[in-house]
Structure 1
Amino acid sequence: MAKYSIGLILGLLLALTACEPPAPVDTSAAGDYNLTLYLQEQKAHMQAKKPMVLKSVTTGDKPVETVETDEIDWEDELAVFEQLDLRRPALEDYYMKQETVLENGDIAVEYKKKEESEPLVHYLYLTLTPTRQLKELNATLQDKNPLFYSRRHVTLQTEPETGNVSSYRITGVQKLIFSDSLHFKVDANL
């Protein structure tokens, strides 16, 4: 009798679970690209490999300063790009997200700030390979308060074969309340 009871109970449990609707899958972050993880991997890779970088910096109306070096603090150098990871649940209400498959099979992921919101990142456009490897990133960041204004446009491109960072550019302007605007540009090619 005991083996019939166990069999009956297991059969009933199986029948009940088969009739239950499947649990909803949380897709809110499943398809999102993890930019923070990518940047952490890149920082570790570049700290180990120490690639040669040709870096040009322009500030205001001063002449361009260009240096070629392998001595880069990648933690500081890529910090601005870490601000672009919009996957945090607290930021969902600030953006409209659109994901599109392009003609060549790449995936475009675009985040635009909602009109009524004022987040740091105003625009983010990622181009990913069909396997969701980063190809290119374009973004606009703006920070504004009564004492300070800053607007930056950043781009980052990767090597098609490896997915490693191949170049990046930061252009922008910043202004303190009692000073002139300072325009700047940083170009780096690995």
Structure 2
Amino acid sequence: MKHITLIIGLGLLVASPALGLTYLGTPTTVMKAGQLAIGASYADSEQDIELQGNIRVEDLDEESWLGRVAVGIADKRMEIFGLFGAANLDEDGLETGDEFLVGFGTRITTNRGDELDWGVVGQFTWFTNEDTVDIVGVPTPYELDVLDVQIGFGPCWRPGPFILYGGPMIQWIDGDVESPLFGEFDVDGE
């Protein structure tokens, strides 16, 4: 039974996309120098976030819609990209609505092989939201700023036109929530 569980766990690790506030993708690139790529992505994920260390938000649902512009810097070795779009956060009926999200990142292939490449990807995204929420019947304005940093590294297997990523992803979330009634709270997550 342990053998089957390990195989299923490894299969899910290899097949799962790298998700944080936004989609990270694979750590290698196939773009040529000067090549321009325009695309879009959608991400829907769930996380636990800490406010000021002892207040914990469980199962925070995050949704983002992004446009992506990328340019190859070195042939199949490096690309840089920019992200722009909207995101929303939802937790037990408290929904932020679609607000502005912007980011940038790079993808570097460190070792190229016939079918197996190794690389690293880094991405920074910034999300901001201003809204009012009812707390015990009192309309409470707030301002939310969040910086999401994601780094992924490891191997990418290219069987034909597909790319399978099988490495770890590290994520840091930092930000703050400000409200005239409750002051400022730090937002932390990993």
- What TM-score, normalized by structure 1, do the two folds share? 0.44
Structure whose residues are more often strand by fraction: 2
Larger gyration radius, structure 1 or structure 2: 1
Structure whose residues are more often helix by fraction: 1
- What TM-score, normalized by structure 2, do the two folds share? 0.44
